[in-house]
Structure 1
Amino acid sequence: MFNRFLGSVLKTCVSIALLGTAATTYAAKKPHINPQTLTVIGYHEVTNDAKSALIPFYAVSSKNFETQVKWLQKNGFHFISVTQLLKAHEGKLILPEKPVLLTVDDGYESFYTNIYPYVKENKIPVVLAIVGAWVNTPADQQVQFGDDKIDRDKILTWSQIKEMSDSGYVEIASHSYDLHKGIVGNPQKNSEPAATTRLYNPKTKKYEGDGDYNKRIYDDLKKNNELIKSKGIPSPRVMVWPYGRYNLETVRIAKHLGMPITISLDDGPVYLRKSLGALNRILVEHDMTLDNLSQEIENREKNLGDNARPQKIMHVDLDYIYDKDEKQEERNLGNLLDRIQKMNITTVYLQAFSDPDANGSADMVYFPNRYIPVRQDLFNRVAWQIASRTQVQRVYAWMPLLAWELPKKNPVSKNLVVTQQPKNSDHLNMGYIRLSPFSAPARRVIEGIYQDLGKSATFDGIIFHDDVTLSDYEDASPEALQAYAKAGFSTDLATLRNDDKSLQKWTAFKTDYLDNFALQLAAEVRQYQPALLTARNMYAQVVLNPYAETWYSQSLQKSLNRYDFTAIMAMPYMEQAKDKTQFYADIVKRLKQYPNGLSKAVVELQAVDWRKNSTPIPSVELADTIKSLYQQGVMHVGYYPDDPIKGLPDTTIMRKVFDSKVSRIQP
């Protein structure tokens, strides 16, 4: 169970599954990298007996370990120490070109047997991260290894650790005292990473508060540091996060305790002059070849992440899963997980809100919060099950920006977007309740909702709903008019609309205002989910008709530049397009006008025809459309909604077309 738990957490952090034959030769291409960026490489276990490996997926043979080290040296990489890294960060030392920080996690006895002799002989500095509770286990007892128990002799002893530390080549880092495990993270009793999960108490039915959470993390890290010091070993200067999971509060705590360097498993390059608070790292897997290693180093240097990896997206309504009958709800969830696996989906957009009265605005959510009723504490459970039980690499929380229908007792519920539109006009009317982004109290409430989401679950991204929009008749609320006046605009919306130059400037102002607010909310969530990605829904008309930007306060170019992904609602039945094929072709043509158009845009298809009582779109038609989009160069495709109850669309048909596009990074 421990191995499965570790793997499920790590797979969402590792950028690609590195498959291939064992590394036995130096004949791999040289990675093209900036010589001043830092490469951090992590190992778990180096063993010559794969059958007895504690975590086989991350167990590397001694031969492969030595081959990889020699290959790095041959290709101009230089292994550096923690002291060198700290001095370089302070501007007191110039590091050699292509520096590498070598790390090994967990503190297995195999480090002493298979790694230490080699690094000592070859004078290679290495960081060894130990779990205090494991090392401190008495010799006559077994070590609590996640959900399992292992023999004590599988873990290093204090005398071995002291000897290696004294050698000058092994820097002892903290891997926590007892956070390398799962704790109860929700009412359904899922076991989730202890360092970032708010502990759920089934008896009180309450989550750990901020103060208790911070104290638990602080006490654990402090205990480990003091334990290490008590053994005559220097207090750690490096914190390696268990499972790569951390947040900005844990980073602050680590720094306060004398660990300015912390190491994660995030993607991307590491720049020496930036913060050392969360260094990205390559995690070596059991069958990583030299070509794999070279490509991974280069991918990170070029910051090739999700945009270069085809996204195969299922957009999920949590309303389909929710049921008052717990057993039926579990069956619904099981059906969803099966469908995700059968289709080989890589990314899920998961609804975190609910609109039971179907008026277009969220009046309930699926996570605990301070502002709006909770339909059920379900988002955490479903997001975790998807991440830990399927091959999905990214789970996004699907959230409204403005469309919140707060309880009427909350005075902020009245701070709404005002539409100033003649009754006889047939112009676009959004027609649903939205809080005004220009109202400071409304913004604070929305910020609070997002903060509560961020600390309530583990997820990888936010996708903002299609309500990141204001029409050319909005917003006419008093707060909005004040903002227009302050920015130098007329407060008469008709005057703004009747002058094309003023209209364009006003539209740009509103577009930027909405995007700034959305990205501010993402920044709030990053306090708890530091590697958070951003996506937003966009109306197809904005892509097809540039003048439609004024109707929606949305800009394709700005969205491509500011969000990680722009999910275009390419839904011809909803748009009543006369020619579906041409509709899709026109969208692709527009995307190709931008250098990042195809890498940062998701073409999201409709799986039902809402204009015909939600009649399902035939699965063959969906698959044929995806095939055509792939042929036209589209990288990222999704569909909405998935129906796990009726089993639509057909998993076999969808799997075949999704598998026609490789899921690896496309350099």
Structure 2
Amino acid sequence: MRLWLGVMLALAGLAGCTSTPVAPVLPPVSAEAAPRLGPAGLPAPQPEAQGRVGGAGKDWLVYLPAAGDTLEGIAQRYLGSPLKAWQIAQANAEAGAPEAGRALRVPLTPPPPWGVSREGLQTVTVLCYHRFAAGKGPTRSKMILAADDFEAQLMWLQRERYRALRTGEFQAFIEGREAVPPRSVMLTVDDGFATFFEHAFPLLKKYQVPVTLFIFTDVIGLPSGLSWQQLRELARSGLVDIQAHSRTHRNLTELQARENDVQYRRNLQQELRHPRAELEKQLGMLGVKVQHFAYPYGASNDKVIDALNQEGYALGFTVRAGGNAFYEQPQLIRRTMIYGDQTLDEFTARVQASRPLSQP
């Protein structure tokens, strides 16, 4: 424990005076005034920032916005990506829309990627959903979330200024390459049932929230499953990153009846290879590249993880609850299950943006 605290405090020291609290207390804002939880689709082209530089240093510049400038456009011009607009907002005490002529500080040096400060350790909660239904809960099964309750959760995240990460952003954080906003979450949906398309996807489009869909390929085309046509629409939206959840949804840690060890290893390989091959064959032209895997039932062991690494998957997702810090083992990413019988207060209690340095 002393070694752990020493390392964390050293990292906090490296962040120095430029480090901001991991999860600053921000006042709630109205749904109308709040920024969207995630950028629309793949980052949309932004109008080029038309303002001018009023001064510059090695690590920053002062920007004087023109009428119509956006933080995303300024970030695209000076930081290389509209997804980095949060860095400008954070450097200006969570500034809203730029005002013409009112100076903004634009940090040119990216924040430390590990999310450590003297106030705590940044964590990203990965939320895990399954099926959805129309109306309001409770539903007939806790694995089914009512659409009205899902919308209430999205609205709460928006009001509290959480931003939903895309899979690539989350991967960059876990690998220590990129910082993410202080209040970050990631939304995932498992299995690939048609209720996702019918009830959740319209809300994701309404609030422009990116999500990762982990699908087992044997469900595609079944009466209860998504069709290839629906998957193509999801992929075209730019909001849904389609990734692998095995072929059959079997428990990968257990031998099936009359399955010997040789057969098990061969079948395990196919459970990892087939969904990637099939999804990229059908959806690759739409930009789908399968790099991540969610374990059926969240179950993994050394054999499964070794096979996952051999197949070149970058991240493996469990259903072990809790927030993910930058040092999380990539093959054992935590995910927090969201159930249909939870109240909004119970949902909010499960979203963790930071934890004390004393807690590994």
Q: Tell me the equivalent position of 2:209.
A: 124
Show CA shifts across 1:114-154 (max 9, x none): 111221232211011111111055xxxxxxxxxxxxxx1x2
| Aligned CA-pair RMSD | 3.0
Is 1:291 the equivalent of 2:358?
no
Is 1:217 the equivalent of 2:302?
no
Q: Tell me the equivalent position of 1:93.
A: 178
- What's the CA shift for 1:250? 1.4
Change (3 A) 1:175 1:302: farther
Q: What pairs with 1:387-402 in structure 2 (closer than 5 Å)? A: none
Aligned length: 239
Show CA shifts across 1:357-398 (max 9, x none): xxxxxxxxxxxxxxxxxxxxxxxxxxxxxxxxxxxxxxxxxx
Q: Is the 8 A contact 2:122 2:353 kept in 1?
A: no
Q: Tell me the equivalent position of 1:39.
A: 125
Q: Tell me the equivalent position of 1:48.
A: 134
Is 1:208 the equivalent of 2:293?
no
Is 1:83 the equivalent of 2:168?
yes
CA distance in 1, matches of 2:348, 2:266: 41
SS at match of 1:103: strand
CA distance in 2, matches of 1:242, 1:219: 14
Q: Is the 8 A contact 2:141 2:340 kept in 1?
A: yes
- What's the CA shift for 1:266? 1.2
Q: Is the 8 A contact 2:127 2:336 kept in 1?
A: yes
CA distance in 1, matches of 2:265, 2:167: 27
SS at match of 2:190: strand
Change (3 A) 1:258 1:168: farther
Q: Tell me the equivalent position of 1:195.
A: 252
Q: Is the 8 A contact 2:132 2:144 kept in 1?
A: yes
Change (3 A) 1:76 1:164: same
User: What TM-score, normalized by structure 1, do the two folds share?
Assistant: 0.33
Q: Tell me the equivalent position of 1:256.
A: 310
Q: Tell me the equivalent position of 1:237.
A: 291
Query: Which of residues 252, 271, 274 is equivalent to 2:328?
Result: 274
Q: Percent identity?
A: 23
Q: What pairs with 1:429-444 in structure 2 (closer than 5 Å)? A: none
SS at match of 1:231: helix
Give, as a single letter, the amino acid of the residue that structure 1 aligns with 2:169: Q
SS at match of 2:331: coil
Q: Is the 8 A contact 1:50 1:59 kept in 2?
A: no
Change (3 A) 1:229 1:39: same
Change (3 A) 1:251 1:34: farther
Is 1:63 the equivalent of 2:148?
yes
CA distance in 2, matches of 1:162, 1:256: 29
Q: Is the 8 A contact 2:125 2:335 kept in 1?
A: yes
Q: Tell me the equivalent position of 2:26.
A: none
SS at match of 2:226: coil
CA distance in 2, matches of 1:61, 1:301: 30
Show CA shifts across 1:65-88 (max 9, x none): 011111122223211001111223
Change (3 A) 1:164 1:197: same
Give, as a single letter, the amino acid of the residue that structure 2 aligns with 1:115: A
- What's the CA shift for 1:267? 3.3
SS at match of 2:127: strand
- What's the CA shift for 1:166? 2.0
Change (3 A) 1:35 1:79: farther
CA distance in 2, matches of 1:277, 1:215: 20
Give, as a single letter, the amino acid of the residue that structure 1 aligns with 2:163: H
SS at match of 1:46: strand
SS at match of 1:272: coil
CA distance in 2, matches of 1:68, 1:34: 25
CA distance in 2, matches of 1:103, 1:160: 17
Question: Normalized per residue, which structure has more helix?
Answer: 1
Q: Is the 8 A contact 1:76 1:97 kept in 2?
A: no
SS at match of 2:232: helix
Q: Is the 8 A contact 2:317 2:332 kept in 1?
A: yes
Query: Which of residues 206, 216, 219 is equivalent to 1:134?
Result: 219
Is 1:163 the equivalent of 2:215?
no
Show CA shifts across 1:84-119 (max 9, x none): 112233333211112111011111111112111221
Show CA shifts across 1:280-311 (max 9, x none): 111111121122123333599579x9xxxxxx
Q: Is the 8 A contact 2:182 2:353 kept in 1?
A: no
The unaligned stretches of length 5 or more in structure 1 are 1-25, 27-32, 138-151, 182-193, 202-206, 306-667
- What's the CA shift for 1:229? 1.1
Q: What pairs with 1:334-349 in structure 2 (closer than 5 Å)? A: none
SS at match of 2:186: strand
Q: What pairs with 1:460-609 in structure 2 (closer than 5 Å)? A: none
Is 1:172 the equivalent of 2:242?
yes
Q: Tell me the equivalent position of 1:30.
A: none
Q: Tell me the equivalent position of 2:187.
A: 102
Give, as a single letter, the amino acid of the residue that structure 2 aligns with 1:126: V
Query: Which of residues 277, 280, 284 is equivalent to 1:226?
Result: 277
Change (3 A) 1:87 1:296: closer
Q: Tell me the equivalent position of 1:74.
A: 159
User: What TM-score, normalized by structure 2, do the two folds share?
Assistant: 0.60
Q: Is the 8 A contact 1:269 1:302 kept in 2?
A: no
Q: Is the 8 A contact 2:125 2:322 kept in 1?
A: no
- What's the CA shift for 1:232? 2.3
The unaligned stretches of length 5 or more in structure 2 are 1-30, 32-118
Show CA shifts across 1:196-233 (max 9, x none): 112342xxxxx622x43222111121011111111023
RCO comparison, higher one (Cα < 8 Å, 6+):
2
CA distance in 2, matches of 1:50, 1:227: 36
SS at match of 1:236: coil
- What's the CA shift for 1:270? 1.4
Q: Tell me the equivalent position of 2:76.
A: none
